[in-house]
Amino acid sequence: MSVTSAMATAKERKTRTRTKRVSNRPSIIVSKMLPNLIDLLPGTESLVCPDCETWCPITGHDGRTPKLVPHHTSRARTPQARRCSGSNRRVQIDLTIPQWHQQLADAIKETSSRRATNVLRKPKVAVAPAVTQITPRPLSPETARTAYQTHITQCPTCTARARCTERARLAETVARLIRQEPRRQQVRAILARERARFDRAYAAQAAKDRAAEWAKQAETKVLRSALAKKAGTLTEELNNTCRIRPANTVSEFRGHALSLEPLRIAT
C-alpha cells in the first residue's frame, strides 16, 4: 500500500519540545517502574511509555515539569500512525542515578539466580552381582605368599619369637598351595589340550559343512539350468511342429463366436 500525504505518518521523537501543554492524567512515578524500563543517564533520559509500551524521551528534566514528549503509538515513519494518549504526561523522577544503578544491579543478580543451571548427569553405576553369581578367584602360591609377608610387616603381635594364629594359618596355606601346585599345573595343561582339540574339531566340522553347502548350491544351480534348457527345447519343438489335419474332421476352432463369413482383405 502506497503512502499518501493524507495519511498520518509517525514522526521522530525529539528530545526537547517547545510545547507547554501538560496532560491532565496522573504523573508517572519512576520509583514504581521496573529499573530496566528506565534510563536516567544524562543526555538520554527516557522511559517506556505505559500506554504504548515504546521508549519515549523525557523533556524538561532540568526544569520543574519533566514530561514525556509528544509521540505516536508506532515507530517513526510508520503510516497510519495514531497520537499516543500518554504524550505530555508528567514524570516524577524520585530516584537518583546511583539508586537506579543499584536497583538495576539487584534486578540483574536476581534474574541470573533464577536461570536454570546445567544438569549434571550422575554416572550410572553397574549393578553388583549377587553372591551366588560371584565366581571365586583361585588362590595361587604367589598371592598367598604376598599376603603372608604383608601380615608379618603389619601385625604388631608377630615378632622374631612370637607368632599369632593368623600367621600360622597363612603359613600353612602357603605350604599347602606349594604342594598342590604341580597337580594344578597338570590339570591346567589337560584342560588347555582338550580345549585346543575341541577348537580344531569345531573348525574342521565347520569347513566340511561349508563345503557341503557350496556343493549343494552348485548342484541346484546346474539342475535349474538343465530344466530351463529342456523347457526351452520342448517349446521350440512344439512351435516348429507342422500337423496335417485329416479329412472329414472337425476343427478345434468352433463355437458361437466363430464367424462363418469369408475373410475379405481390402486391397
Residue-wise DSSP of 67-98 = EEPP-BSS-TT-BS--B-TTTT-BEE----HH
Whether the per-residue pLDDT at 111 is higher than 50: the answer is yes
Beta carbons of 47 and 58 less than 8 angstroms apart = yes
Burial label for 90, CB within 10 Å (0-12, 13-18, 19+), is middle
Over residues 34-62, the mean pLDDT reads 86
What are 83-104's pLDDT values in tens digits?
888 888 889 888 888 898 888 8
Is the per-residue pLDDT at 189 higher than 60? Answer: yes
The answer to whether the predicted template modeling score (pTM) of the entire model surpasses 0.95 is: no
Asked if the model's pLDDT at residue 162 lies above 80, the reply is no
Residues 116-125 have pLDDT tens digits of 667 778 888 8
The pLDDT tens digits of the residues spanning 196-215 come to 999 999 999 998 998 888 88
Check whether 151 has a pLDDT greater than 80: yes
Phi-psi category of residue 91: left, alpha or beta, with phi > 0 → left and psi -120 to 50 → alpha: beta
Across the range 136-147, mean pLDDT stands at: 83
Q: Which three cell numbers stand for residue 256?
A: 458361437
Residue 1 has a pLDDT of 43
